[in-house]
Structures are given as structure tokens and as C-alpha cells.
Amino acid sequence: MLSLEVLTMAGRVALDIGRPLEAVAIGSQGAGAAGILSSYGVSTLHVADDPRLAEYAPVAWAHAIAELADQVNAEIVIGTASDRGGEVMAHVGARMQVPLAANCTEIAPGDPFIVIRQRWGGSLLEEAHIKARVKLLTLAPHALTAEASPSRTDVTTRAFTPALDDRDFRVRLVPQVEADTGKISLAQARVVVGGGRGVGSAEGFASLEELADLLGGAVGCSRAVTSLGWRPHSDQVDQTGTRIAPDLYIACGISGAIQHMVGCRAAKHILAINTDPAAPIVAQADYAVIGDVQKVLTAVNAEIKRVKAGAPSRTPA
């Protein structure tokens, strides 16, 4: 996948060290990228020419990149910290026998070569030095805003044939597209109603389901809830589960451990419903109701139904 954020960052770093910015495309869609690349200061697009690379094979993709990096004497290789990007770059590091700094948010080339990288899903930052002949790093999502340059460059497209053997294709990952269930996915939902231990029980999620239905949203949960077996792991919002980015996240009976906040940090607004005004989630929320989840949701769901039925909104007493 083409990341405009990575292109923007790479362009800045290339300018900083006075080297041309070159791109490598692997896989079936890569060669069509030249048009976009010209707006990001890329001088050369290297297209890996081997039909076996059309499908995702992490080691083969990595070995192609490592070979090219040596060929063009790359000083810095930047990839995106997506699942695939991170996996490929780890293999590149192993192949080239150089370190990899994952999930960077800032890069200051020079001696020492300084990066800021995320730990704990971004709840903590590390300043690190990369000491290697080639600096490898992946860029964390949303580290900066993608910005095309006002002038376009002429992109030279050049095919190269990496020396790959069959062993590089031992692992191939074949996509398996799931049937559309019609359910709104947690990652895409505009509203997420999340429940924690404070919901009380697995059955207690009925009121959260009802609220999510009324708002056209999805239900999520905290890790505590998954561990208790109340909800499946696919509902888990946090550092190791799903990361969400809704317009509103309604956190019900969730204390707000840092791992959970990593999962809901991209929400535009957070409404916390919690009996404990001192819970960390309340301090980090935009709106809060201090009270019992079930009592509050009963009142909220009843009021939505009243309003939807056309009744005039009651003014607060």
C-alpha cells in the first residue's frame, strides 16, 4: 500500500541529506504509482520485475528491497508501519544485517542519526540513535500530515530483476475475502459503544447493543471483558485489539488503562459513563456522566426512542 505520509517524510529527509528520493514498487499495482510519486519529489521509481512478486511473499519482497538498497547505495530506507510494511522491513533488516527502528514519528538524520519512536502503542516515546551503514525505519501512522509538493518532478521508471530463489517464496499469504455480514465494523463505525467491567455481566451488554443499534454504531469492549469471556476478542478496543476512530466513543464502565486509550485515541469525541469520577477515562474524556452504566443507558435509550418517535425533547429539570 502506498503511504503518502511516508512519501512526505522521506521527501523531507532526502532534502535534508541532499540525496535524491527513490521509490521501489513491488506487487501488481506498484508500477502505476509514478503519477502520484511525481508530486512527492521522487526522481526514480524502481519496479521489481518478477511475476512471482505479484502476490504477497514477505521474504521475497524484502530481499528485492534489500538488493535494490545495496544497488543504489541507499543511506536510509523508510517503510510504513502497517502489518505488511512492518513485516517486510523486519525481513529487510534481517537480510541486510542492520537494525530497524519501528514506528518512528520523527527523524533527524546526521551523526548521530536520531529518531523518535513509539513504545506502548504511542503512550511513551523513545529517543534512539541508529548506528548502521543503512538506516532502516518504519513510520508510525499519523506521525505527520501528508503534503504534496507544489512542483512536480519527472519520475524515471526503471525495472530491475532481483535475484530471488524458490526459498524466498516459502511463505505466501493468500487473501481470503470475507462475505459481507452487513454488520458495521468496529474500525469503520461512526459511533462505538464500548463496555468494561462496569457493565456488570455479559447480559449487561444488551443495553449497549441497543444504544449502538439506535445510533447505527458498533459495540466494543475492554480487555478485562474479553478475559472474562463476556465478549469475543474481535470486539476488543486497545493496543493489542482493534484501534477505532469514530466520531464518538461512548466508554461505559471502562477505567481507561493506557492500553485501552491507545485503541480509542483516534476518536474525535469521548463520552465516559462511569460511577467513579476519579477513573482515568473521565479525565481523558470530553464528556462524562457520573453514574451506573445500566441506569444511565436505560435513561438514554428511552430518551432516544422518545425523540425518534417525534416527541419533543424534554428540557432538563
Partner 1 sequence: MNVLVGIKRVPATAGQITLTPDGQEIDTRYLGFTVSPHEECAVEEAVRLIEKHGGSSTVLTLGPEAAIDQLREAMALGIERAMLLETDGREWDPVATAAAMVEAIEAERAAGRTYDVVMFGNESADSAGYQVGVRVADALDLPCVTGIKALEVTNGHATVRRQTESGWEVADVPLPAVLTVKEGINLPRYPSLPGRLKAKKKEIERSTPQWQDGGLEKIRLKLPVQVGHTVEILGKDGDPGVQVVELFQRLRLL
- 102 to 141: interface string for partner 1, x by CB under 8 A: xx----------x---xxxxxxxxxxxxxxx-----x---
How far is the C-alpha of 202 from the C-alpha of 186, rounded, in Å? Answer: 18
Of 43 and 123, which CB lies nearer to partner 1 in the complex structure? 123
- 261-280 positions binding partner 1, by CB under 8 A: 269, 271, 279-280
Q: Near partner 1 by CB under 8 A, which window of 10-18, 26-34, 151-159, 249-257?
A: 249-257
End-to-end, the C-alpha distance of the chain in Å comes to 54
The residue among 36, 7, 34 whose CA lies nearest residue 21 is 7
SS3 124: strand
Nearer to partner 1, 132 or 148 (CB): 132
172 binds partner 1 (CB under 8 A): yes
Residues in the chain, how many?
317
The answer to whether 181 contacts partner 1 (rule: CB under 8 A) is no
Does residue 178 touch partner 1 according to CB under 8 A? yes
Options 11, 30, 220, 241; binder of partner 1; rule CB under 8 A: 241
The reply to whether 193 sits near partner 1 by the rule CB under 8 A is no
In this structure, which long-range contacts are made by residues 234-243, counting pairs with CB atoms below 8 Å and at least 24 apart in sequence? 234/186, 235/186, 236/263, 237/186, 237/192, 237/194, 237/263, 237/264, 238/262, 238/263, 239/120, 239/121, 239/263, 242/186, 242/187, 243/187
Please, are residues 24 and 158 in contact by the beta-carbon 8 Å criterion?
no
**156 part of the interface to partner 1, by CB under 8 A:** no
The answer to the question of residue 209 lying near partner 1 (CB under 8 A) is no
Pairing of strands 135-139, 156-160: unpaired
Give yes or no for residue 52 binding partner 1 (CB under 8 A): no
Cβ 162 vs Cβ 50: under 8 Å: yes
| Cβ closest to partner 1, residue 7 vs residue 279 | 279
User: In the set 33, 78, 191, 244, which binds partner 1 (CB under 8 A)?
Assistant: 191
Answer for which of 59, 69, 155, 224 binds partner 1 (CB under 8 A) is 59
Nearer to partner 1, 15 or 228 (CB): 228
Closest distance of CB 194 from partner 1, Å:
15
- Of 141, 193, 223, 224, the residue at the interface with partner 1 (CB under 8 A) is 223
The minimum distance between CB 158 and partner 1, in angstroms, equals: 28
**Cell match 469514530: residue?**
246
Give the separation between CA 304 and CA 189, rounded to whole angstroms: 19
Residue 120 CA to residue 134 CA, distance in Å, equals 26
Cell numbers standing for residue 8: 512526505
- Least separation in angstroms between CB 34 and partner 1: 25
Q: Decide: is 229 part of the binding site for partner 1 (CB under 8 A).
A: yes
Q: Give 45 or 281: the residue with its C-beta nearer to partner 1.
A: 281
Find the binder of partner 1 among 174, 182, 183, 310 (CB under 8 A). 174
CB 278 within 8 A of CB 272: no
Sign of CA dihedral 9, 14, 15, 20: negative
Among the residue ranges 20-28, 32-40, 151-159, 229-237, the one whose residues contact partner 1 (CB under 8 A): 229-237
Distance, CA of 266 to CA of 249 (rounded, Å): 10
Counting contacts by CB under 8 A, is residue 285 touching partner 1?
yes
